[in-house]
Each structure stands twice: as structure tokens, then as C-alpha cells.
Homo-oligomer: A and B are copies of this chain.
Amino acid sequence: MNWKARVLTLDGLMPSLDDANRLVWGTLADVPEDAELCFLGLDEGKACFAAVPPRGDATPRMANPQLWSLMSTLQPDDLAIYGGARSLADWHARHRFCAQCGGDTKLAKGGWQRNCTACEASHFPRTDPVTIMLVEHEGRLMLGRGLGWPEGRFSALAGFVEPGESIEEGVAREVLEEAGVRVRDVTYVASQPWPFPSQLMIGCHSHADSDELTIDETEMAEVEFFTCEQVGAALEGNGPFVAPPPHAIAHHLLQWWMER
């Protein structure tokens, strides 16, 4: 038996990086005595923890330019550890009270649960299923630019799966809402966890019946169809649009489409 442990150094939800851009870890002595600790797993014979920030935000923080830059900087193994830790710590910080009765909740089971101290309700970290879809029409691919995105950046349309929907129904509704076209033959391609804040990205492919679009201007700045050649050039960094970065499932979906 030993007590070898390390605690991920976080400032709020942001990590500290050393000169080699690796995650910085402290010890149990570095965290306040009353800090709540999430158990992340064992690594190199040490138990790894992350401390829950004292207070959460009213809304979860989605991916922003600072986070995109961080994702490009971190090594893949560090990114996986940080992503999981961030997602869990963020959820705990935003769930210090019981949604059922308003009482105080306490971290339980190493961070995979919170229990209410008043009504004894148990609460579990949530993962929101999100569909992200390639939409094809006569060999061209529909991609969109969301409101507020940088000029020129295009990616696959995406949206939360709503209660009562299958994955396939979610894809069809989302494309109809955002681009005004009906799709058929929805197939699953790949999935990826996305910890900003805590989504399960479900990548699909579908065929559109038409390329006449009616764009939802409250969500999308532009939606366009691109040829194979244009998508290929964009993935190589010299196309008519800026493709999603390599750590996003959208990048993988575009590559998958090109290889077909």
C-alpha cells in the first residue's frame, strides 16, 4: 500500500503547462483541505485527481478560441486526460445544489456522482449526444459557417439530439431546421467525446433530396455545397474555405468522405 497521488493543476478550468507544453501536476498537499477531488484514474503507478473549482459558471463554457489554441498545443495523451478532467470538474462545480430539492450536494464515488445531503437524490455527470452530419447532393458536400464564426471557416452542421428522437431523426430534423432540405439514407460513420462541456459527437452521413437551401439565419451565417476537389484542397490548407482542425471529428468526417 502506498499513497502515491498527483493532482492536475487547474486555474479555474484552464490547465498549467510547463516549458515543454506538458500538463503540470501537483500533490495532494497543494489543494485546500476542503477541495472536492475527482479521481481520474491511475497513471504511472499514481492515482490522478482533479480538484473541483470552488464555484461554477451559470452556463457551461463551450469551446472558444483560447481552447482551440490549447487543443493544438497539448500532446494527444495530455489532451485526453485534460478533456476528461475538465468535463468532470466543470460539471461538479455547476452542480453544488440539488435540482430536486435545492439542498447542498456532496461529491461521491470518487467524482462519478453527487449526492444530496437533504433529500438523498443522486446526480450523475451528464453527456449530451450531438449529431454532426455530412450532407451530400450529387457528389457535392454541404458545409456551414455558424453565426459568429471567423470568415471562411466551414464545418459540418451539428445539433443536440432532442428527447424522443433517434440519431437518424435528429440528423434529419437538424438539417431541415438549419438548411431547409430533407435528407435520406442517414448512416453512422464515427463518434468522439467532446469535453467542452461534455458532449458525445455522433458523426453521420446522409443524402439531400435537393440543393435548394433555406438557411436558418438565427443559427447559420452561410451554408454552401463544395465539390470533392474543393474539400480536398481545404483539408490541405489551400481550399476555398478553412477546414475544421485535426482534433475535431468534423475533420475526420471530411477525410472519410474524401477516401470513399
Contacts and interface: CB of A to CB of B under 8 A. Distances in A.
A166 interface: yes
Interface string A86-123: 01100100111111111111000000100010011111
A85 to B, nearest CB: 9
Contacts of A129: 127, 129, 200
A190 B188 CA distance: 9
Nearest to A84: B164
Chain A interface size band reads 35 or more
Contacts of A87: 163-164
B188 A165 contact: no
A117 to B, nearest CB: 12
A79 B242 CA distance: 45
Contacts of A192: 166
A58 B105 CA distance: 13
B58 A120 contact: yes
Interface of A, secondary structure class, is loop
Number of copies: 2
A198 interface: yes
A161 interface: yes
Nearest to A165: B193
Given A101-B97, A116-B58, A163-B87, A127 B128 contact: yes
A31 interface: no
A95 B97 CA distance: 11
Contact of A99 (B83, B88, B94): B94
A96 B99 contact: yes
B126 A58 contact: no
A199 B120 CA distance: 22
B102 A102 contact: yes
Contact of A126 (B88, B98, B116, B126): B126
Contacts of A230: none
Given A88-B163, A129-B200, 4 more contacts: A84-B164, A87-B163, A161-B200, A202-B202
Interface of A: 56-59, 80, 83-84, 87-88, 91, 94-105, 112, 116, 119-129, 160-168, 188, 190-193, 195, 198, 200, 202
- Give the 4 A-B residue pairs with the shortest CB-CB distance, closest first: A97-B102, A84-B164, A188-B188, A58-B121
